[in-house]
Structure 1
Amino acid sequence: MGSIFRFKEFEVNQQGCAMKINTDGVLLGATVAANNPTRILDIGTGTGVIAMMLAQRFTDAQVDAVEIDEEAFKRSTDNFQNSPFKNRIQAYFGSFEEVKSNFPYDLIVSNPPFYTNSLHNPDSRKKLARHTDFDFFNKLLVFAQEKLTLHGQLELILPVELAEYVIEHGHAMGLHLRKTITMRSFADSEVIRNLITLGKNSVESTIQDDFIIYEEKGVYSAEYRTVLKPFFLAF
Structure 2
Amino acid sequence: MSIFRFKEFVVSQESCPMKINTDGVLLGALANVSNAKHICDIGTGTGVIALMLAQRNKNAKIDALDIDYRAVDTATKNFENSLFHARLKCYHHSFVEFFEMNPLKKYDVIVSNPPFFLNALKADSEMKNLARHTDISFFLDLLRVAATHLEVRGSIQLIIPLDVSQAIQQLASDYHLSISEVINIKSFVDKEAFRQIIRLSKEQAQICKNSDFVIYSREKEHSMEYRAALKDFFTIF
TM-score w.r.t. the length of structure 2 is 0.97
The equivalent position to 1:159 in structure 2, one of 158, 161, 171, is 161
Q: Aligned ranges for residues 1-235 of structure 1 at < 5 Å?
A: 2-99=1-98, 100-101=101-102, 102-235=104-237
Residues 48 and 79 of structure 1 are in contact (CA less than 8 Å); yes or no, is this contact kept in structure 2? yes
1:15 match: secondary structure? coil
Q: Deviations over 1:88-132 (max 9, x none)?
A: 001100101222444410000000000011132011100111110
Q: Which letter does structure 2 place at the counterpart of 1:16?
A: S
**1:234 alignment partner AA:** I
Tell me the CA shift for residue 27 of structure 1: 0.2
- The CA deviation string for residues 127-146 of structure 1, in whole angstroms up to 9 with x for no partner, is 11111000000000000100
More deviation in 112-121 or 220-229?
112-121
Task: Report the secondary structure of 1:140's partner residue.
Answer: helix
- How far apart in 1 are the matches of 2:57 and 2:169? 26
Compare 33-42 and 78-87 and name the one that shifted more. 33-42
Say whether the 8 Å CA contact 2:54–2:84 is kept in structure 1. yes
Superposition deviation, residue 71 in structure 1: 0.7
Query: SS in structure 2 opposite 1:87?
Result: helix
The separation in 2 between residues aligned to 1:51 and 1:203, in whole angstroms, is: 26
- Aligned-CA RMSD value: 0.9
Question: Does the 8 Å CA contact 1:119/1:127 hold for their aligned counterparts?
Answer: no
| In 2, Cα distance between equivalents of 1:92 and 1:129 | 16
- Confirm or deny: 8 A CA contact 1:184 1:193 kept in the other structure: yes
Structure 2 unaligned segments of length 5 or more: list them: none
Between 99-108 and 111-120, the greater mean CA deviation after superposition: 99-108
User: How many Å apart are 1:35 and its aligned residue?
Assistant: 3.6
Per-residue CA deviation, residues 37-80 of structure 1 (Å, 9 max, x unaligned), is 00000000000000000000010010000010111111111110
Looking at structure 1, the residues matched to 109 and 122 of structure 2 have their Cα atoms a distance apart, in angstroms, of 33
Alignment check: 8 A CA contact 2:33 2:53 kept? no
In structure 1, how many angstroms separate the alpha carbons of the residues matched to 2:37 and 2:27? Answer: 18
Distance apart, 1:173 and its partner CA: 1.1
CA distance in 2, matches of 1:187, 1:4: 31
Q: Secondary structure of 2:194's match?
A: strand
- Of all paired residues, the percent bearing the same amino acid is 46
Aligned length: 234
CA distance in 1, matches of 2:122, 2:86: 39
Unaligned runs of 5+ in 1: none
Find the aligned partners of 2:57 and 2:154 in 1 and give their Cα distance.
15
Normalising to structure 1: TM-score of the pair?
0.98
Task: Tell me which amino acid in the other structure corresponds to 1:180.
Answer: V
Shift of 1:149: 0.2
